[in-house]
Structure 1
């Protein structure tokens, strides 16, 4: 019965999200409904101590990233940088390569260490302009953004700095470059099959006479095409964010050491010293610093265009980013509540009895990521519960722990993008689209990501590649 309660809460949230209801409102109802059925007296304590606590933790860490990412995307838009890159790309490669261009742009930023949430804000103005000029239906755009941001550069490509590739290192004593050949094979599989699927969807839509669409929401402004900036400046803005993020990620731990401590000797009014581990915030500080540099760079390079609309455009950006952050934080709170339910623990325990180590790892992580709606959340829960067992089983079967690392990392990014996933909801909110309009393409990418895990497992057993 406890398992059915957990699954019912998950199904309710997915259905309501797909039907267009606000996740900020529905997620706590779904979570607390499950708690109510298990123990009515625990509803208030769990709501305050788990749901709101985790929601607040997410906002504390990531709200500035959402805000800065949205402002960066907006100045990219109003400066004309997005249109400049699109115009250059169209003239050199043609409009038919729209999906490939968007995927590459997202992949470069994601592999450079920029958060997948920020990538959506940054690339959306480019994507919208490119789709509009190419007359490709806007509803197909989230699929391309998802393929570039939430797939191979997030967890498959060796060396990616995304958290889904970092978490396994602490459990298996590996590095982010674990199983480079298998990771590359999986990345190529996702990229090729994903682009084939998106192109098939694009050709089918355009063959039916469907255009970009009218009455679209959250449309970027069309700048004066007679005064477009040099596209190299526009491209430099994206490169700058990636480079500064990489440098700050490396140097912040050196500057601050293992921990930071700001006491009353500096700020006499503080009640107690501000302390914490640098490792827990370095990546977030690095992204924030990189985005500030990107915003300043674009503003300086296109000061005349930006200054006229900076106040109004950033107000709009902040409003959209706040909504997106609240959506994702509510999802985070929901996943945290679900993870403490008895039914969730039953499911987690049952997955441990699958025989093959790699299949067990893949199914367990993918299932838990799907239930919680979070790749990093599902991966963390799965490895905390069975990381030692997976390592022992891999050693017994003579499977390198590097292979196990790559499999669990890729599996975390498989079924995580179900309708209630925070990144999916953010993606749809930023693009002004709904689940009903655009989730089919996102789900297609989800299936391809999941199949890639099985493909990589098969490749390892057949060839022994690591």
Structure 2
């Protein structure tokens, strides 16, 4: 009965989340259903397991949600994201339209701008470029997914994405874990994704397919669509409803002023991770008032938080005249972080209740028995949970909450570098999460005024297939030569 309850609870969560119900309501209900079938005490699971683990997730990662959303909103309202996208379009757009859209998305998301901010800025640019080049607009979502939701989310060393931050407390790693393997994975994703998109473009031109019908006001409708909002907030760290608040500049930021904050994120993250924090005396962290922890457990989050803070300051200083309503902009950014953070925390609470059920030992034993070793079983676990929840961050946290300590022990016994574990876990969470019910996919299609039937196959090819190929490459290289 316990295993049946686990499956029923998970099924209810997936079904009603896809129908647009709030995860804040669904996750505790689904967790209690699983506990009920398992004959476990309901109130104890709600307050001592669900809430405790959800609160622990917020305690660890809310600073990144908060700072990332504020930074993204500042970059949006100052016109910096628009400026970066326009710069890419001018430099590459006339002959290399698809590459321009992909690199524009990659530049802003690797620099720390929230995904949904990038969507609402890059989609209009992509429409203009694709229409001028007579490339079918049905390929726009795939081009944007390749640039924003693949290698810059899970593979590029130092990416400030929440997915790259989640394994750090579990494995004691930094945002730059396994940098060489991350670069290899990024090249695989980018190369195969661009090959597919150019192949699709050539095929469309051969068939005489043009841009297609123009859709007006799709982005505005998507921003105010409550169904889109509920799905979106479990996928990434920004509530799209807050894009309508604040005060957007009438003039785009100068290109240098727009690019510098993105460089600050990467540079400060690198300095904090590799130069500053390792030299600090932080023995005080062992005291109980600081949680009796260690630098390894907090260094990654500290690095990203300081990098985003420095970028926020840089954005304000460089774009002061284009932020006439600074308080409103920062308030909107702060508010945009709350619903996504609590939604993912609720998924984590659900996963904690499931992992505490006696029946979960069957699932754990099955995962650990998968042939191919710890790296393969870790990849499978993160893939499955990200697919079921439709959330890379939610699935990854559930997997590591339930199995993280086990994989640390396996790594010690088998000689696997924890940095390699980190990179496999993150890339694994960013593959099958891009299923039809994924909030980012639903939101992007709504912003583009397209349907799953129009564009989803190409999203699968550039989002799932390329990431799986990269994951296989990283596991094969890591198993053969270790982490680098």
TM-score category of the 2 structures, normalised to the smaller one: 0.7 to 0.9
2:255 is the counterpart of 1:255: no
Aligned runs of 1:405-420 on 2, under 5 Å? 410-415=427-432
Q: Deviations over 1:203-235 (max 9, x none)?
A: 9897442546432314567642xx433201110
CA apart distance, 1:151: 3.7
2:297 is the counterpart of 1:280: yes
Q: Deviations over 1:34-53 (max 9, x none)?
A: 111112x5110011011111
1:407 and 1:293 map into 2 onto residues whose CA distance is 29
Q: Deviations over 1:97-117 (max 9, x none)?
A: 3431244315643xxxx6xxx
1:59 and 1:400 map into 2 onto residues whose CA distance is 27
Aligned-pair RMSD on alpha carbons? 4.3
Structure 1 residues 346 and 142: CA distance shift in structure 2, 3 A: farther
Q: Which moved more, 1:135-144 or 1:205-214?
A: 135-144
SS at match of 1:385: helix
Structure 1 residues 234 and 9: CA distance shift in structure 2, 3 A: same
CA apart distance, 1:286: 2.6
1:120 and 1:8 map into 2 onto residues whose CA distance is 32
Q: 1:244 aligns with which of 268, 282, 295?
A: 268
2:78 is the counterpart of 1:79: yes
Structure 1 residues 239 and 316: CA distance shift in structure 2, 3 A: same
Q: How many residues align?
A: 431
2:212 and 2:444 map into 1 onto residues whose CA distance is 27
Q: 2:316 aligns with which of 293, 299, 324?
A: 299
Q: Tell me if structure 1 keeps the 8 A contact 2:169–2:297.
A: no
Alignment-derived partner of residue 368 in structure 2:
352
Aligned runs of 1:443-454 on 2, under 5 Å? 445-454=463-472
Alignment-derived partner of residue 227 in structure 2:
none
Q: Tell me if structure 2 keeps the 8 A contact 1:189–1:452.
A: yes
Q: 2:213 aligns with which of 204, 209, 214?
A: 209
2:15 and 2:139 map into 1 onto residues whose CA distance is 21
TM-score, length basis structure 1: 0.74
Q: Tell me if structure 2 keeps the 8 A contact 1:155–1:413.
A: yes
Structure 1 residues 198 and 337: CA distance shift in structure 2, 3 A: farther
2:339 is the counterpart of 1:323: yes
Q: Deviations over 1:408-440 (max 9, x none)?
A: 6643544456678xxx65897899869x96794
2:358 and 2:435 map into 1 onto residues whose CA distance is 22
Alignment-derived partner of residue 57 in structure 2:
58
Structure 1 residues 213 and 408: CA distance shift in structure 2, 3 A: same
Q: Tell me if structure 2 keeps the 8 A contact 1:328–1:426.
A: no
Q: Tell me if structure 2 keeps the 8 A contact 1:58–1:329.
A: yes
Q: Tell me if structure 2 keeps the 8 A contact 1:366–1:415.
A: yes
1:11 and 1:367 map into 2 onto residues whose CA distance is 13
Q: Tell me if structure 2 keeps the 8 A contact 1:351–1:364.
A: yes
Q: Tell me if structure 2 keeps the 8 A contact 1:76–1:125.
A: no
Aligned runs of 1:422-461 on 2, under 5 Å? 425=439, 440=456, 445-454=463-472
2:27 and 2:417 map into 1 onto residues whose CA distance is 40
CA apart distance, 1:77: 1.6
CA apart distance, 1:68: 2.0
Q: Tell me if structure 2 keeps the 8 A contact 1:258–1:279.
A: no
TM-score, length basis structure 2: 0.72
SS at match of 2:356: coil
2:194 is the counterpart of 1:192: no
Alignment-derived partner of residue 104 in structure 1:
106
Q: 1:378 aligns with which of 383, 399, 404?
A: 399
Q: Which moved more, 1:253-262 or 1:23-32?
A: 253-262
Alignment-derived partner of residue 177 in structure 1:
178
1:386 and 1:241 map into 2 onto residues whose CA distance is 30
Structure 1 residues 291 and 30: CA distance shift in structure 2, 3 A: same
1:201 and 1:300 map into 2 onto residues whose CA distance is 43
